[in-house]
Chains A and B, each alone.
Chain A
């Protein structure tokens, strides 16, 4: 394992990715908690590269969709889904008999930052511990991951310090670094800048844009300005349904639907 080369050279995606034209594909996807249908009958195709922003009011089901893409919702007892979900050309259920493979290829940063009660250094390496790394390699990976997540300058002198003593915004970036060092082919971000100051938030936006040239990123955001800055593709969800989806140029132009326009300009949805 070399140091993560997401930004250095072209990404080392495996060949089956290249022959696929979609990173993620949902057909007739519905998601449930118990008997409650949260997301109903969604069809979605996301390109193999690029940034897709999921926008929509609170409770629309954005996190729910995201949490099925790496099957983390399986850990929630009442959650279930119907329809088909394909990630990198393979069905998430039958195509990934070993769910850890899916989760390694589909990185995720959750809505609430959560660091493990150990050092910053160990947090970054948490997902890599199965691989034999020399000390120097491990250090390089940690440094690279932290630099990507623009956290290096703030923590470089206390890598052995406890991760849970970091501020919330720093913890969120640590979570991002932790996901990045695994070199995912798809990255799911659930409001990654919600608890981050404008400067780091800007740095993360830059990172998302540059990562989007190599991998597929699905990002939930409540910040319309942010979606406008970084997205290639925007999906507007409301009440578990897709109201409209399209390229950034389309969604932020006068040609978009009336509902989208209302949401974008007034942050309000009446569906």
Chain B
């Protein structure tokens, strides 16, 4: 009897130990990574770095147009993707849950989510840049990023819709609301948090991407604010890549760390916003 209790205690302890160890490894890696970026990058950060254009291939000057380019591309991508994601998930939710087309749509969204980002880049290069002859264009980049964000945002929105208890739907229907009125008054307000979180997570992912936009939307130097849809921009990830290639130069390396820090801060900013939106907006939807 006593033995069994002892064994159970030991087992529980081992289990707790394993959990703690895995937590430590995960958190430790993250903290180490963020810590080293912060320590090495903070030296490069100054007002001048934030608000000056890059000079001498990034060795001096700042990353102003890179920040601008990154933000422009992902925000436009988000603007493209949000209506599409809402439309797709509404279609799926309201008409399609049990049909084979619905099943196919959902599976392809998951599959799309798993495609390596370079594939999107190649697609953009072949289809837009070469076939449609757009040339290097930030807007094409935005479109490609939008396609990349689409599964994340759509699935998040769709899952928020599916998670709405059926009883809300029934109560609205019992008040004589039509299908479309129920969508406006019940489904959309109550899945709003999913739309917001999905978009922000999609943004956070898209802003850090290099591969899909490298060949189709960005130039490494000599760009400022684009004046048309078919001009290149420079972005933080591609700029970091460029600087890393000159890593023998300590000045370039320093700036690479600085740009990385800014990128990390942007990504974390979007992720934190998503977290905040989730807790705030979900809290409003439930008791």
Q: How far is the CB of B51 from chain A (nearest CB, A)?
A: 44
Instruction: List CB contacts (< 8 Å) of A112-140 with chain B.
Output: 112, 114, 116-118, 126-127, 129-130
Q: Give the size range of A's interface with the partner.
A: 20 to 34
Q: Is residue A197 contacting chain B, with contact meaning CB distance below 8 A?
A: no
Whether B172 lies near A70 (C-beta < 8 A) is no
Q: Mark B264-287, 1 if CB is under 8 A from A, else 0.
A: 000000000000000000001111
B175–A179 touching, CB < 8 Å: yes
Cross-chain contact of B167 among A70, A112, A129 (Cβ < 8 A): A112
Question: Is A110 in the interface zone, CB < 8 Å from B?
Answer: yes
**Are A103 and B285 in touch, CB under 8 angstroms?**
no
Residue from B166, B172, B174 having most chain A Cβ neighbours under 10 A: B174
Cβ–Cβ contact A117 & B173, under 8 A: no
* A91 at interface by CB-CB < 8 Å: no
Q: Quick check: is B48 within 8 A (CB to CB) of the other chain?
A: no
**Residue B170, interface by CB 8 Å:** yes
Chain B interface mostly: helix
- The answer to whether A75 touches B173 (Cβ under 8 A) is yes
CB pair B284–A117 under 8 Å, yes or no, is yes
Binds A, one of B5-13, B137-145, B176-184: B176-184
Residues of chain B contacted by A41 (CB below 8 angstroms):
none
Residue of A nearest to B287 (CB): A164
Cβ A116 vs Cβ B172 within 8 A:
yes
Question: Which residues on A sit within 8 Å (CB–CB) of B178?
Answer: 100
In the complex, A101→B287 CA distance in Å? 31
Q: Do residues B171 and A103 form an inter-chain contact, with CB atoms below 8 A?
A: no
Q: Please tell me if the beta carbons of B176 and A114 are within 8 angstroms of each other in the complex.
A: no
Contacts of A104 in B (CB 8 A): 175-176
Cβ B167 vs Cβ A110 within 8 A: yes
Q: Is A108 an interface residue (CB 8 A)?
A: yes
Chain A residues, Cβ within 8 Å of B177: 100, 126-127
Known A-B contacts A117-B286, A130-B181; A175 and B176 likewise in contact (beta carbons under 8 Å): no
Do residues B175 and A103 form an inter-chain contact, with CB atoms below 8 A? yes
Encoded as 1 (CB less than 8 Å from any A CB) or 0, chain B from 165 to 209 comes to 111111111111110010001100110000000000000000000
What is the minimal beta-carbon distance from A176 to any residue of chain B, in angstroms?
A: 12
Interface size on B, residues (CB 8 A): 24
A7 on the B face (CB < 8 A):
no
Bound CA span A54–B127, Å:
67
Chain B residues with CB below 8 A from A130, complex form: 181
In the complex, whether A249 has a CB less than 8 A from a CB of chain B is no
A182: which B residues are within 8 A, CB to CB?
Answer: 175-176
Q: A126-B185, A130-B181, A164-B287 are in contact. Are A116 and B174 (CB under 8 A)?
A: no
Q: Which of A151-205 contact B (CB under 8 A)?
A: 164, 175, 178-179, 182
Within 8 Å CB of B190, what residues of A? Answer: 117
Q: Which residues of A contact B176 (CB under 8 A)?
A: 100-101, 103-104, 127, 182
- Report A-chain residues with C-beta under 8 Å of the C-beta of B175: 103-104, 126-127, 178-179, 182
Complex alpha-carbon distance, A130 and B169, angstroms:
17
Instruction: Enumerate chain A residues within 8 angstroms of B181, measured Cβ to Cβ.
Output: 129-130
For the complex, give the distance between the alpha carbons of A150 and B41 in Å: 65
**A182→B171 CA distance, assembly (Å):** 14
Instruction: With both chains docked as a complex, state the minimum distance between the C-beta of A169 and any C-beta of chain B, in angstroms.
Output: 15
Contact A75 B169 (CB under 8 A): yes
The digit string for B141-176, where 1 denotes a CB below 8 A from any CB of A, is: 000000000000000000000000111111111111
Contacts of B286 in A (CB 8 A): 117, 164
CB distance from A46 to the nearest CB of B (A): 19
Query: How many angstroms from the CA of A178 to the CA of B172 in the assembled complex?
Result: 10
User: Is A72 engaged at the interface, CB distance under 8 Å to the other chain?
Assistant: yes
Closest chain A residue to B285, Cβ basis:
A117
Bound state CA distance, A129 and B190, in angstroms?
18
Per-residue 0/1 for A73-95: is the Cβ within 8 Å of any B Cβ (1 yes, 0 no)?
00101000000000000000000
- Chain A residues, Cβ within 8 Å of B172: 116, 126
B287 x A116 contact (CB < 8 A): no
- Give the distance in Å from the alpha carbon of A178 to the alpha carbon of B186 in the complex: 15
Q: Is the Cβ of A103 less than 8 Å from the Cβ of B173?
A: yes
CA of A130 to CA of B184 in the docked complex: distance in angstroms?
12
* Bound CA span A235–B284, Å: 42
Complex formed: what's the CA distance from A72 to B173 in Å? 7
Whether B173 lies near A110 (C-beta < 8 A) is no
The residues of A that contact B171 with a CB separation of less than 8 Å are 110, 114, 116, 175
B residues with CB within 8 A of A: 98, 165-178, 181, 185-186, 189-190, 284-287
Given A101-B176, A114-B171, 18 new contacts (CB under 8 A):
A70-B174, A75-B170, A75-B173, A100-B178, A103-B173, A107-B174, A110-B171, A114-B167, A116-B186, A117-B190, A117-B284, A117-B285, A126-B185, A164-B286, A164-B287, A179-B174, A179-B175, A182-B176
- What are 10 inter-chain pairs, A to B, with CB distance below 8 A? A72-B174, A110-B167, A110-B171, A116-B186, A117-B189, A126-B175, A126-B185, A127-B177, A129-B185, A182-B175
> Sorted from nearest, which 4 A-B pairs have the closest CB atoms?
A127-B175, A104-B176, A103-B176, A108-B174
